[in-house]
Amino acid sequence: MGNSHSRAPSAGLDSGHAPTTPVIHRKRSRAFSALTLGCASAPYAASLPSYREYPSREDHSFSDRDEKRSLNDPPPLYAISTTPDIIEDVAADAYKTFLKQYPQYQLTWILDALRRSDFARLDRNGETYVDYMGGSLYPESLIRVHTGFLQRNILGNTHSVSNTSRLSAACASEARQAVLSFFRAPPGYTVVFTANATGALKLVGEAFPFGPGSAYVLGADSHNSVHGIRQFAKGRGAEVCYIESTAVGGFDVAEAKATLARHRPRGDGGTPPSLFAMTGQSNISNSKNPLSMVAFAASQGYCTLLDAAALAPTSVISLTETPVDAMAISFYKMFGFPTGVGALVVKESFLARLERPWFAGGTVDVVQAPGTIVTMAAELHERFEDGTINYLNLPAITDGLRFLSAYLPFLPLRLSSLTRHLITSLSELRHDVAGTPVAQILSRRPSKTVKTVGEQSDTGSVVALLFLSPSGQMIPNSFIEYAASRQNISLRTGCMCNPGGAASLLGLRDAMAELPCDATLHKFERRMGRELGVVRISLGLASDFRDVWHVIQFAKSLCDTAARTAMWEEWLGDRTGVAL
């Protein structure tokens, strides 16, 4: 009548009828073992769960030696050179100059080894990938380990008690624990698997008990999935209150505290609760909002929600130090694979306060039909996981988190150095004839110099900018994206689903405030007389000096009148062909 088998793998099973199926160890690869033991900082390596025994049918023809050979592990890290494969003499000279300015970059040599072992396809294909905010790249070893596991095992729908279902449920349980361990969650947290961070945010928005007298407070520099929660708040009679963005994104802490204090819940017991949603890191402005604001909002009586989709891939988040009520993440943004899986990492006490507007398969125990009686699933997380979870890909979450934990301590140092170099280099470029700037940096620049492994940066690794013509006019972003793709550079243009952040960077806050109800992007651009949006360059897990160097070379080609004109005419020709 509901989901009578949606329980933990061993719950409700008579020990006298326990299956006698042999068990196998879900082994990690040698590469993962080396990383976890030799590279990860102690808090990460110690906190991630070890592989457990799962009930499954054993393939006796598949030996340990065969398993290791089939995984085709990369060579040991110590056997790999630590000097990037820079063939061009000019690039090699530039790299030497870069190292003189950022000698601490050499402490991240292990990421150069990673580039060779897991991301060699970038160099084989001649691709410069600088869209890590759009999605991280998957490490090849993660795909090998995951596909090997799928080839050796049989997984079934978790809503049963068969051997295949028990294995899937065990993998799901392990993935849940891996998420909690990775984010250092204290007891009282659970994990709800969703399709992505947007799905996690929607779960909170649609079920939060807004009402007259309560408020939804959020920053203007937020993703549309955070803005979208205002529809649920307004629909239930709550007030929607914005914290204005600064000119370079994020919010001013004093203004944020004043806004939260001004709209804080009355605390009389009869008023519906209020919600503060904070963006950990902007996906367009490169600003990080201080996580200490979570504690301040909680002290004012707010429930708290953290959008960590852009923050989690390159920053350490400890839920022990920042006990937010709920946090939304997407795993493909962290380590590239799998897509279609995100999570709401949430306090069980907060989850119990949410009021879902419906129920579905997987979320209930008993449903009266016809009738009105509904008994929700006993496990809190099951009540929010509609239908069947993505059980085939959940083992990759455990492996991906273990993989990222080994390299995460090195990323802020590496990416901060590369981002600083990129911003400085682009800012110095000038047009060959007019001598005017080629680029206008709009996003927040790092103010802190990261010098040691494990140290955190004060911004992300995003550069939002406009390219300018010799007369100082904006070069259309559509041309930039076309020209970059012709040079095998993957970047992104537009407003990045963050209208508040984009408006702040572009100086359009007043124009945004005056938008008519029937506004469209086309009408807005016609009114402003140009394309709207920015060029976004974002670095991540596999980025190295060569990527930044290629972006700088692309920008230099825009300085050259002849080269720029040739690209422009080619672009116009392609546009004409498409129109015809």
Residues 6+ apart with CB under 8 A from 241: 215, 216, 217, 218, 259, 262, 263
Residue 89 is predicted with a pLDDT of 80
Residue 539 is predicted with a pLDDT of 98
Residue 397 is predicted with a pLDDT of 98
Q: And the tokens for 351?
A: 């989850």
How far is CA 564 from each of CA 189, 324, 575, rounded to the nearest angstrom?
54, 49, 16
Q: Give the whole-angstrom CA distance, residue 357 versus residue 370.
A: 19
Q: Give the whole-angstrom CA distance, residue 482 versus residue 102.
A: 32
Residue 266 is predicted with a pLDDT of 83
Question: Which residues on neighbouring strands pair with residue 430, listed in sequence order?
Answer: 437
Residue 526 is predicted with a pLDDT of 87
Strands 342-347 and 364-367: unpaired
Q: And the tokens for 26?
A: 């879900």
Q: And the tokens for 229?
A: 């929660």
Cis-peptide into 370, omega within 30 deg: yes
**Residues of the chain scoring pLDDT < 70:** 1-87, 576-580
Residue 44 is predicted with a pLDDT of 42
Type of residue at 387: G
Q: Walk across the sheet containing 439-441 and list its strands.
A: 439-441, 462-467, 534-538, 492-494
| Cβ neighbour number for residue 186 with a 10 Å cutoff | 12
Instruction: State pTM to two decimals.
Output: 0.87
Residue among 282, 325, 180 nearest 500 (CA): 282
Please give the full DSSP string across 509-568, using - where no structure is assigned. Answer: HHHHHT--TT--HHHHHHHHTS---EEEEE--TT--HHHHHHHHHHHHHHHSHHHHHHHH
Q: What angle do CA 337, 340, 345 make, to 5 degrees?
A: 90
Q: What angle do CA 87, 89, 90 make, to 5 degrees?
A: 115
Residue 346 is predicted with a pLDDT of 98
Residues 6+ apart with CB under 8 A from 289: 219, 250, 251, 256, 278, 279, 280, 281
Q: Give the whole-angstrom CA distance, residue 571 versus residue 553.
A: 19
| Exposure on the CB side of residue 524, measured as CA atoms within 13 A | 20
Q: And the tokens for 58?
A: 């054993």
Residue 54 is predicted with a pLDDT of 39
| Cβ neighbour number for residue 513 with a 10 Å cutoff | 8
Residues 6+ apart with CB under 8 A from 504: 220, 221, 245, 246, 247, 248, 249, 285
CA-based max dimension of the chain:
86
Q: Give the whole-angstrom CA distance, residue 503 versus residue 521.
A: 13
Q: Are 453 and 407 in contact (CB under 8 A)?
A: no
Q: Give the whole-angstrom CA distance, residue 343 versus residue 421.
A: 34
Q: And the tokens for 534?
A: 């920015």
Q: Give the whole-angstrom CA distance, residue 478 versus residue 494.
A: 9
Q: Give the whole-angstrom CA distance, residue 501 versus residue 135.
A: 19
Q: And the tokens for 3?
A: 């989901």
Torsion angles phi and psi, residue 236, rounded to 5: -105, 10
